Amino acid sequence: MDVRALTVVVLLLLAALTASVVLIGTGDFPIPAGDVLRTLVGEGDPGQEFIVTELRLPRVLVGLLVGASLGLGGALFQSVSRNPLGSPDVLGLGQGATAGALTVIVLFSGSAGQVALGALAGGLVTGFAIYALAWKRGVHGYRLVLVGIGVSAIVTAVNGYLLTRSDIVDAARAVVWMTGSLDGRDWDQVWPLLALCAVLVPLVLANSRGLRMMEMGDDVSYALGVRVERVRLLLMLAAVLLTASATAAAGPVGFVALTAPQLARRLTRSPGPNLAASLCMGAALLVTADLASQRAFGAEQLPVGVVTGVLGGVYLLWLLVTERKAGRI
């Protein structure tokens, strides 16, 4: 057992839970952290119980689950592609989910539930297309990234076309969704995402050994008894489902899937995919960004996607400069 990695996971969990408690207490009716904890264990007054359990707790849980899903999905893609840029943001899965949601909004004026299903379907179709186009006696890292960038460009153009086809009301609704936000999230978004994570997270962790072996190359993995293509297909399907479901729940929240695995790797200083650390890092990043979006700009509350986009863009530039100096790109 890697003691440092375990310590990082525990500290990230504590950070995510602490930020969640503070976030639950933040709003037009502020609640001290102690009262939040008492309310969560059933000892708060009726007013605080309504605010905490019905209004703010679902939003925070969606933030934790979305962040964890994006962090884990990003770690899977980066490990399979063996490339720090192999993230759903770069590969176009977020844009694919956005295309599915826009199709439902613009062409069918669908409800919130139908938009979520459209986003999930769009992410799955995009993931399948990327995998199929990148296949040539197996799926290799740079080919996957390059195909993903091309698919992302095509789907982005489709999204622009759909926006031009929409009326002003649907366009405004679509732009709000495309920003990525946790506003208005309730228990209807919590339960499906929680059920999917309850199935996929243990499945991914159970295949983590095969994923570690695959980072040494396909030939070595075959020699060690790993069914490479089977494990790769299974984990990529899990990553696509995690990313698409997170996008369906909160919109295309940018750069969490890119930054969380890299930050987790730097903290643990451990080889391998660092799946648990990436999951916890993603959850901590998203709830912290949501807290910053509510507190750091005075009376103006920004969508969480704006905050993660700014921070992630700065990190992406730093990563590109680092990779270029190291001669890897």
pLDDT the model gives residue 18: 93
d(CA 267, CA 240): 25
d(CA 263, CA 71): 10
d(CA 152, CA 174): 18
Q: How many CA atoms lie within 13 A of 105 on its CB side?
A: 30
Query: Which one, of 301, 181, 310, lies nearest residue 251 by Cα?
Result: 181
Condensed to tens digits (0 to 9), the pLDDT of residues 89-125 reads: 778 888 888 888 888 888 887 777 788 888 889 888 9
Query: Which one, of 282, 271, 288, 269, lies nearest residue 239 by Cα?
Result: 282
pLDDT the model gives residue 195: 92
Q: What is the DSSP string of 49-80?
A: HIIIIIIIHHHHHHHHHHHHHHHHHHHHHHHH
Whole-structure pTM value = 0.89
Q: Spelled out in words, what is the top-level CATH class assigned to the domain 3-326?
A: mainly alpha
Given a cut of 60, is residue 148 above it in pLDDT?
A: yes
pLDDT the model gives residue 283: 93
Q: Using DSSP, state whether 98 is helix, strand or coil.
A: helix
Q: pLDDT band for position 17 (50/70/90)?
A: very high
Condensed to tens digits (0 to 9), the pLDDT of residues 287-323 reads: 999 888 887 765 567 788 888 888 877 877 887 787 6
